[in-house]
Amino acid sequence: MVLLKFHGGCQQIGMSCVEVETQKGRVLLDCGMSPDTGEIPKVDDKAVDAVIVSHAHLDHCGAIPFYKFKKIYCTHPTADLMFITWRDTLNLTKAYKEEDIQHAMENIECLNYYEERQITENIKFKFYNAGHILGSASIYLEVDGKKILYTGDINEGVSRTLLPADTDIDEIDVLIIESTYGSPLDIKPARKTLERQLIEEISETIENGGKVIIPVFAIGRAQEILLIINNYIRSGKLRDVPIYTDGSLIHATAVYMSYINWLNPKIKNMVENRINPFGEIKKADESLVFNKEPCIIVSTSGMVQGGPVLKYLKLLKDPKNKLILTGYQAEGTLGRELEEGAKEIQPFKNKIPIRGKVVKIEFSAHGDYNSLVRYIKKIPKPEKAIVMHGERYQSLSFAMTIWKTLKIPTFVPVRGTILPI
């Protein structure tokens, strides 16, 4: 019998971790940390044969250095990006030590998409492209004859950086699927609409002599935003002003450039034609950022909760300047305060009055509700489905959608659920 044990990521976003247990072997699918609380799954690393990592975001890989796992499997880009994620976590929270990261890195084995690997005599797996961030993967396992697809975070739509998630997949017995935008209310504007809104907001500020601050997540969101801005500058639809970057996104963007064969082929074509798709990466210099000239500042962190972006918030004292939030802002973060119209904030000792404009244009590396529905219709019909990686309403809503669409048993586990399959 195969048991699925859910250690995290159930009716929540964060701390994703599913254990697949058999009499002859055990593997973990992801081992993430909660971005809000720093909580990690409680697992027995000595009993686990391997961890298979879907991608390099904190909520999927952040807990790995806490443990001494024998083997960690991921794609080649994910290994490089995980190192950045772990070092960021070390620098910001001191959650673990440098030697913990070193131990984890020494036990990584990298695979390409579609390359099979046997872990134990009864467990083998391969990766499919998930379309979420560079190197992101859906994990396809064969365990005691059962065929399991763990989607990880998926995007069935086209982005500037990546091709859509694979849907031409081998037959599936059990589908474990994310539900970040699993409610029928979670329908996002067309991508071109979001891009136009972003460029209009930037243009308005630049033409008025102001500066634009764009907080981003270092991996995925930063590269997408840089691609959009530089594309509009090259086409003459956005004034060419300095773009300053700061934080770990500089290192993450270098990793993206190292793996252009893993990206949207349009990016490879640009590089072959001697065009830098992400533009010239200029490290933010305070003497330049705080002068009187218009500029764009792209910096971490995405929720304005730590990171170098905090030192640029003083620019919002000036009504000519603008902050553009490009993603979800969790409760209790400075980003949420700003989104909700805070008149002043206190990132450091002194309070900062907010006179500049704050706008939100939500880009996402996750598919919205319509994208998730298209995905489940395109992949082979599973015998049963399990919905996780979403807030309670989203997970329950999407479970209902799967039931109505595919007419198969659908489960929404809670943390600690053990499900025989």
Is 132 marked within a binding site? yes
Residue 176: strand pairing partners: 150, 386
Is 59 marked within a binding site? yes
Give the CA angle between residues 153, 158, 161 to the nearest 5°.
Answer: 80
Is 173 marked within a binding site? no
Nearest one of 332, 292, 334 to 311, comparing CA atoms: 334
Is 366 marked within a binding site? no
Letter for the amino acid at 17?
C
Kindly state the tokens that stand for 232.
């509009």
Cis peptide before 301, with omega less than 30 degrees from 0?
Answer: yes
Kindly state the tokens that stand for 184.
């029928």
For every residue of 27-81, DSSP letters joined together read: EEE-----TTT-------TTT-SEEE---SSHHHHTTGGGS--S-EEEEHHHHHH
Is 55 marked within a binding site? yes
Q: Which residues are annotated as a binding site for Zn(2+)?
A: 55, 57, 59-60, 132, 153, 389
Q: Which residues are annotated as a binding site?
A: 55, 57, 59-60, 132, 153, 389
